[in-house]
Structure 1
Amino acid sequence: MSLRYVREFKGFAGVRIEADDIGSADEPSIVLLHGFGQTRKVWEDVAVGLEQAGRHVINVDLRGHGGSDWPSDGRYDIDAFVDDLRAVLGQMRTRPVVVAATHSAWIATMALAEDAAMLASGLILLDPPAHTDAQAVKVSAEALSAALGQGLAPSEYDSKIFASFGTDGVDARLAQAAPQINIPVLVVRGALGASDGVDTQTGFSATFPNVEAIDVDGGGLLIVAERTEAFNGLLIDFLERKQPRFIPEYRSGSDARTLRDAMGCFATGVTIITAHAPDGRPVGLTANSFTSVSLDPPLLLVCIANNSGSAEVLRGIDDFAVNVLQIGQQPVSNLFAGKSEDRFSGTRWEVGEYGAPILPSSLGIFECKRHMLHEAGDHFILVGRVEKASFEPRRDPLLYFRGKYRRLHFT
Structure 2
Amino acid sequence: MASQAARQPVRSAAAAAQGAATPFFPVASSPAGPVPATVKPPSSHWYTGRPTLASTLTALERAATDSRAHLFRQGLLPSLAASIAHDAEFHAVLPHPRQRRWKPAKDMAAYLRTGAQLKSSQYKRLTSSLAHLEGLLPYARVADSLAAEAADGLARPPALVTDPVAVATGRAAQGRAAERDDADAAAAAAGGERGLAPQLEQLLAHFQQPAAVSATGVAVERVVGKARRLGSQDEHQRTYAVGRRKESGARVWIVPAAASSSGTSSEGAAGRDAPAPLGRVLVNTRPLPDYFTQQPHRTAVVLPLSLTSSLGAFNVFAIVKGGGSAAQADAVAMGIARALAEWERCEVEAGRRDEAAVSWRDILKRADLIERDPRVVERKKTGQVKARKKFTWVKRCEVVRCLQEERGW
Higher Rg: 2
Structure with the higher helix share, 1 or 2: 2
TM-score normalised over the length of structure 1? 0.24
Higher strand share: 1
